[in-house]
Amino acid sequence: MTERSTSDWHAKAAQLNIGAKMIIDGQSVDAASGRTFASHSPIDGRHLADVASGSQEDVDIAVAVARRAFEDGRWSARPPAERKLVLRRLADLIRAHRDELALLETLDMGKPISDSTSIDVRAVANCFDWYGEAIDKIYDEIAPTARDAVAMVTKEPLGVVAAVVPWNFPMLMASWKVAPALATGNSVVLKPAEQSSLSAIRLAQLALEAGVPAGVFNVVTGDGPEVGRALGLHMDVDGLFFTGSTQVGKYFMEYSAQSNLKRLGLELGGKSPNIILSSYRDTKHAATTSAHSAFFNQGEMCTCPSRLIVDRAVHDEVVETLIEVSKSYAPGDPLDPATSMGAMVDARHTGRVMEFVEHAKTDGADVVTGGTMARQDTGGSYIAPTIFDNATNDMRIAQEEIFGPLLTVIPVESVEEAVKVANDSCYGLASAVWTDDLTTAHQVSKGIRAGLVYVNCYDCDDMTTPFGGFKESGIGRDKSLHAMDKYVELKTTWINIAGRD
Ligand code: NAP
Ligand code: MG
C-alpha cells in the first residue's frame, strides 16, 4: 500500500464522511429522544460529529431486535461454515477500508495514524478472520458414560450478548468480543465509549455489507451510566462482556445481580510490574523495549508496564536509557506518520493524568523527565512522556492506574523483593521479567499473580493466547479459543439406549 504523507492524511480527514447514527436492525437511526452529543477530536479540538445519544428506550428496541434475530435463526441457525465465510468477508472489507477506519480511530481518540493503520486495523481484521476460521473446526462432545446411554455435550449460543467497551483501542476491544460472539451464533448489541463511537458504527455497517443479517449486530451509542447501565440491567440480555475500569466492572456485577444474573466477562484495569534484573545481559535493550511499551498508545493501555521494578545494580543504566528513549516520544501531530506519541483521549482525562505528577512530587518521587503538558497551542490534549524515579510501591503513582505516559521506577535489592513488590497490587493483568537465568525466569513467572507474564519481551501478542487478568483485573479471558466458551452455554442431552424388555 502506498505510504501517505501528513498532508495526505489531513486532506483525507477533511473529506471523511462520518456516520454518527446508531445501527439498529440494519438501519442507521437517530436516538428515540432525538438527542445527540458532540464528538470533538483531541488532536486539535475540531468538531467531528453529533453522535446519537441513546437511552433506555433505544436499548429496549435494540435488545428486542437482537432477540427476534436470534430466535428466528437468521444467523444463529446458519451452518458454521456459512458464518465463517461472512466473517472472513468482513475481515476483507476491514482491510479494504483500512485508511478510513484508521482515520476514524485517530481523529476520535488521538492515537498516531501509523499505529491505527499498522496495529489496530490489521489486528481487527485478523480477529474476525481467526474466529471465522475457528468455528467450523470445533467439535462437540460425547461423554464417557456407561453403554446404556449416549450423553451429548453440545454448545449453544447464549442468545443476546451485549458488549460495552473503552476508548483506548475502540475497534479492537469491540472485536475481541463481537467476533467470538458472532462466530458462536449470538446476536450482539455493542456500546462503544462516548469518546470513540465512530469506528464501532462503521464496523457494524461493514458487517452488514459482508452479509451479517440485519438485527444481528447492533450499535447503541451514548453515555455509560445511561446506555451501559440499561444493558447491564436488561432482563433480556443473556451475557454482558465489558472492557474498562475496575470501578465500572464492579457496577456490572451489581447490575447482573439486580437483574437476571446475566453472565459477565470483565476485562479491567492494571498496574503491570516489569522487572529488569541484572542477570539479563543486555540492560539497554531491556530498558529500551520497556520504555517503548510504557509510552505506546500514550500509555493508555490496560497492560501498560507502568511500574518498572529494577535491580539496584543496573538502575542507573536503565534510567539513563529510559530518558533517552522518551525523547523519541515527544508528542506530535497524530496525522503525521512519523509521530509515535499522539493526543490523550480528552481534556478531562488529561487533567486526571496530570494530577499524578503532583502526587509523585508530594509523595517524594523524583520527576526526572517530562511532567508537563505539550502542544497546547493546537487546541488538543497532549502530555510529555514522564518518568518518576526512586519511587516506592506504596506511593499513589505505584498503586493507582494512571492510563497515561507516566512511568514509575522502583529500585529493589533482590529477586525476592522484586516479586513481592510486583504482587503488592490489587491488579494482576500483565507483568514481565528480564533475565537470562532460566531458573529465575521460571521462578518469577510462577511467583507473579497475573494473567500474562512476559519473559525478555513486552506486549508480544497474537490471537492464539488468552488475554485477561487475575485479582481485580477481571474475570474471564478474551482472545484464543478459550474466549469462545464465554459466548456459549453447555447443554447435556442424555439419551437412554438401555432398551426395554
Ligand atoms: P470506563 O470509564 O470504565 O468505561 C468503559 C465503558 O463503560 C465505556 O463504554 C463507558 O461509557 C461505560 N461506562 C462508564 N460508566 C458506566 C456505568 N456507570 N454503567 C455502565 N457503563 C458505564 O473505562 P475507560 O475510561 O473507557 O477505559 C479505560 C479503562 O479500561 C482502564 O481502566 C483500562 O485498564 C481498562 N481497559 C482494560 C482492558 C483489558 O482488557 N483488561 C483493555 C483496555 C482498557 P462512556 O465512556 O460512554 O460513559
Ligand atoms: Mg469513559
pLDDT of residue 160: 99
Nearest CA to ligand 1 atom 14: 224
User: What ligand 1 atom has the least distance to the C-alpha of 194?
Assistant: 47
pLDDT of residue 500: 77
Give the distance (Å) from ligand 1 centre to CA of residue 245: 5
d(CA 259, CA 275): 43
In this structure, the strands spanning 263-267 and 239-243 are parallel
457 catalytic residue (yes or no)? no
pLDDT at residue 479 greater than cutoff 60: yes
- Pick the closest to residue 202 from 227, 174, 242 (CA basis): 174
pLDDT of residue 1: 54
Q: How many CB atoms lie within 10 A of CB 39?
A: 21
Residue 409 grid coordinates = 521506577
Residue 158, CA distances (Å) to 71, 235, 295, 379, 489 in order: 11, 14, 38, 45, 6
d(CA 237, CA 317): 53
Residue 419 grid coordinates = 516479586
Give 35-69 as a DSSP string: -EEEEE-TTT--EEEEEE---HHHHHHHHHHHHHH
d(CA 315, CA 319): 6
Q: How many CB atoms lie within 10 A of CB 473?
A: 29
Query: For 337-479, where are the alpha helices, taking DSSP H only?
Result: 347-363, 396-399, 415-423, 438-447
- Pick the closest to residue 267 from 453, 59, 428 (CA basis): 428
- Among 22, 165, 271, 302, which residue has the most ligand 1 atoms within 8 Å of its CB, making it the best to mutate? 302
What does the pLDDT average to over 68-97?
98
Nearest CA to ligand 1 atom 17: 225
pLDDT of residue 2: 64
Least distant ligand from the CA of 403 = 1
d(CA 428, CA 268): 10
- DSSP letter, residue 253: H
Q: Using an 8 Å Cβ cutoff, are 287 and 323 in contact?
A: no
267 catalytic residue (yes or no)? yes
pLDDT of residue 139: 97
Nearest CA to ligand 1 atom 48: 224
In the set 127, 194, 302, 401, the catalytic residue is: 302
Nearest CA to ligand 1 atom 46: 193
As to burial, measured by CB atoms within 10 angstroms (0-12 exposed, 13-18 middle, 19+ buried), residue 46 is: middle
pLDDT of residue 501: 67
- Pick the closest to residue 163 from 185, 192, 183, 186 (CA basis): 192
Chain CA centroid to CA 39, Å: 21
pLDDT at residue 84 greater than cutoff 90: yes
pLDDT of residue 499: 84
User: What ligand 1 atom has the least distance to the C-alpha of 176?
Assistant: 40
54 lines ligand 1 (CB under 6 A): no
Query: For 262-394, where are the alpha helices, taking DSSP H only?
Result: 283-295, 315-326, 347-363
Residue 337 confidence class, pLDDT cut points 50, 70, 90: very high
d(CA 264, CA 445): 28
What does the pLDDT average to over 182-200?
98
194 lines ligand 1 (CB under 6 A): yes
User: What ligand 1 atom has the least distance to the C-alpha of 232?
Assistant: 20
d(CA 362, CA 262): 44
Residue 55, CA distances (Å) to 126, 193, 238 in order: 33, 14, 19
Q: What is the pLDDT of residues 389-448, one digit of tens each?
A: 999 999 999 999 999 999 999 999 999 999 999 999 999 999 999 999 999 999 999 999
224 lines ligand 1 (CB under 6 A): yes
Least distant ligand from the CA of 229 = 1
Nearest CA to ligand 1 atom 39: 267
In the set 267, 300, 401, 472, the catalytic residue is: 267
The CA-based dihedral angle spanning residues 115, 116, 117, 121, taken in that order and rounded to the nearest 10 degrees: 130
Q: Using an 8 Å Cβ cutoff, are 276 and 311 in contact?
A: yes
Q: What is the pLDDT of residues 254-300, one digit of tens each?
A: 999 999 999 999 999 999 999 999 999 999 999 999 999 999 999 99
Residue 292, CA distances (Å) to 337, 344, 394, 450 in order: 17, 17, 25, 21
Given the C-alpha cell 532460566, which residue does it identify?
438
pTM, entire model: 0.98
Give the distance (Å) from ligand 2 centre to CA of residue 192: 10
For residue 432, what are the β-bridge partners? Answer: 274, 454
For residue 310, what are the β-bridge partners? Answer: 276, 411
pLDDT of residue 176: 98
d(CA 16, CA 242): 30
223 lines ligand 1 (CB under 6 A): yes
- Pick the closest to residue 164 from 136, 194, 143, 141 (CA basis): 194
Give the distance (Å) from ligand 2 centre to CA of residue 376: 23
What does the pLDDT average to over 134-157?
98
